[in-house]
Amino acid sequence: MSRKQQLLKRHRRNKRIGLLVTLLALLLAGVLVAWWLPVLLLPLLWVAHEAWFADHLFYAPGDDYVFDFGPHAQEAVVHLDHGALKSDTPFDDQDTLILEVRLRSSWLGRILDPRVELTTDTQGDRQTFERGVGGVRMLTLTGLAAPLREGRLRIKGRYCRLHGQPRLWVIPAVELRRRRVMVIAPHADDAELAAYGLYSQAEEAWVVTLTAGEIEAEHYQRMGLSVTEAARLKGRLRAWDSIAVPRWAGVPEARCVQLGYFCLQLAAMRAAPCEPVGSREAQMTDIRPLRRFNTLALPADADGAPTWNNLLADLRTLMEVARPEVVVMPHPHLDPHPDHICAQAAVFEALQGCAWQPQTLLCYANHLHDNDRWPMGDSGDGVALPPQLQADEPWTPCTLVLDLSTQRDKAMALAMMHDLQPPTPLKRRIRRLIQRWLVGRRWSPYGDNEFFRKAVRRHELFWRRELGAGMIDHDDRRVRGMK
């Protein structure tokens, strides 16, 4: 069981215990006070739960975030004077800038989402944090270098206060747009969620999707299809999405590849590398029908077997054909999705003995262990660093700034993805209305799915490592020989 599954199981257990205690207290109040009191309080308690206790937050808001940015990061002198930030340290406009601050929530910040507002004469940004925040947090100032140098950047807490002097971390920019970039996506839409801005601006980009994402096709069962038929239709649609949607960003069809392995089966494949592992729901053991949109021949086309060894052979071939200088893939520790964990493990294992070695690794997290709302706040806002309560090893943040036009293009790319199109369940729509009225949360103007709010932002955040001669011991997923 993954750490996220353990946290979710504990959360649900605690919620059931709390619900039982609440029901017993209401019954007791009905007996001792008035019979109508539970009838009145029960709906009010449900509304309060939906407004303030429905988020999956598996740590205390008062915990400090802890990061080790590695040797590339340098601390710069920064002054906070009457709400204005200024740094005399020279840095480039493209550098990644991280401001370490200590926040303390006001009483309203326990009811409404606290945020930090960054403003200049001509632009602004907001970065939102947990209700009741009370510790060290990391703001992204990338894109605000000029006003920061000139002392025109103002910072203000809303429903929270800044305590003490902030610290500024400067990470020198690396060239990405003029290098060959390969984005590894475990499922169709992962590349767009994490890196649409990056791959749409790269001079040469490849988008490689590992699985068809065919399971959990209840939306298609409503059309009268069986479980198997719905899964097959969903797999075909998402395979098409993985090839077609990157074309919106200008990636040639020949550089969009769907490998067609089956969703949530990568871990089983990895456990028995020679054994084929078929789809859970589509009743398929041949991956070739899901590759029919590819223009590039790959090793697994020969037998169509969904095995780990075939996946590694496909990835090695792609590395040697594309010769990427930058590989973008899920973060090995921050992202807990089992297919995402296996995706990064497959990349590292495939690179062992591969004739081509990339120079730079960029990692992303489309999911987190302990906060389902990150990045918090609204579409178009900046992206603060995610919660991390201990720094086991150094990772260097790398942020790209997306202008409004690119954000809108990214939103449209996501809207083309069939998996983000089904309507939001009624329970979730009611919860959103309650949170809008009582908490002041706004929904994304681009679409109903949660990822429109989370992914269409001012920043795209990656974690960078420069690759050295050695690669990885994939049994413990710890990188070796990295600078």
Contact 443, 432 (CB under 8 A): yes
Rounded to 5 degrees, what are φ and ψ at 223?
A: -80, 0
CB 385 within 8 A of CB 98: yes
The string of pLDDT tens digits covering residues 148-177 is 999 999 999 999 999 999 999 999 999 999
pLDDT of residue 473: 42
Q: What is the pLDDT of residues 216-241, one digit of tens each?
A: 999 999 999 999 999 999 999 999 99
The predicted-structure confidence for 424-459, as pLDDT tens digits, reads as follows 999 999 999 999 999 999 999 999 999 999 999 999
- State mean pLDDT over 37-62: 90
Q: Look at residue 461 in the predicted model and tell me its pLDDT.
A: 98
Q: For 17-35, b where at least 16 C-beta lie within 10 A, e where not — what string?
A: eeeeeeeeebeeeeeeeee
CA distance 93 to 428: 41
Residue 184 is inside which H or E element, if any? strand 180-185
Q: Per the confidence metrics, is the pTM higher than 0.85?
A: yes
Closest by alpha carbon to 102, among 119, 72, 80, 69?
80
pLDDT tens across 170-211, in order?
999 999 999 999 999 999 999 999 999 999 999 999 999 999
Question: Residue 15: is its pLDDT beyond 80?
Answer: no
Q: Is the pLDDT of residue 388 over 90?
A: yes
| Tens digit of each residue's pLDDT (9 = 90 or more) over 267-312 | 999 999 999 999 999 999 999 999 999 999 999 999 999 999 999 9
377: region left, alpha or beta (phi > 0 left; psi from -120 to 50 alpha)? left
Position 480 confidence tier, pLDDT thresholds 50, 70, 90:
very low
What pLDDT sits at residue 36? 82
Other Cβ atoms closer than 10 A to 478: 14
Residue 474: pLDDT over 50 = no
To the question of domain 180-367+403-456 being in CATH 2.60.120, the answer is: no
Q: What is the pLDDT of residue 216?
A: 96
Q: Are 21 and 44 in contact (CB under 8 A)?
A: no
pLDDT confidence of residue 193: 98
> Of 5-9, 61-65, 301-305, which range is least confident?
5-9
Q: Give residue 12's pLDDT band: very low, low, confident or very high (50, 70, 90).
A: confident
Q: Measure the CA angle with vertex 56, ends 52 and 61; round to 5°.
A: 70
* Separation of alpha carbons 428 and 9, rounded Å: 20
Q: Is the pLDDT of residue 476 over 80?
A: no
pLDDT at residue 4 in the model:
63
The pLDDT tens digits for 98-116 are 999 999 999 999 999 999 9
* Separation CA 373–CA 450 (nearest Å): 9
Q: CA of 338: how far to CAs of 4, 180, 341, 343, 411, in Å?
A: 10, 27, 5, 9, 26
Q: How many whole angstroms separate alpha carbon 416 and alpha carbon 291? A: 19
Residue 482 has pLDDT above 70, yes or no: no
- Residue 479: which pLDDT band, with cuts at 50, 70 and 90? very low
> What ranges in 49-127 are assigned the alpha helix state H?
none
The fraction of the chain above a pLDDT of 70, given in percent, is 95
d(CA 53, CA 103): 21
Say what the pLDDT of residue 153 is. Answer: 97
pLDDT tens digits, one per residue of 355-379: 999 999 999 999 998 999 999 999 9
Considering the chain, what percentage of its residues have pLDDT values greater than 90? 83
Give the mean model confidence (pLDDT) for residues 130-146. 97
Please say if the pLDDT value at position 481 is more than 70.
Answer: no
- 253 within 8 A of 243, measured Cβ to Cβ: yes
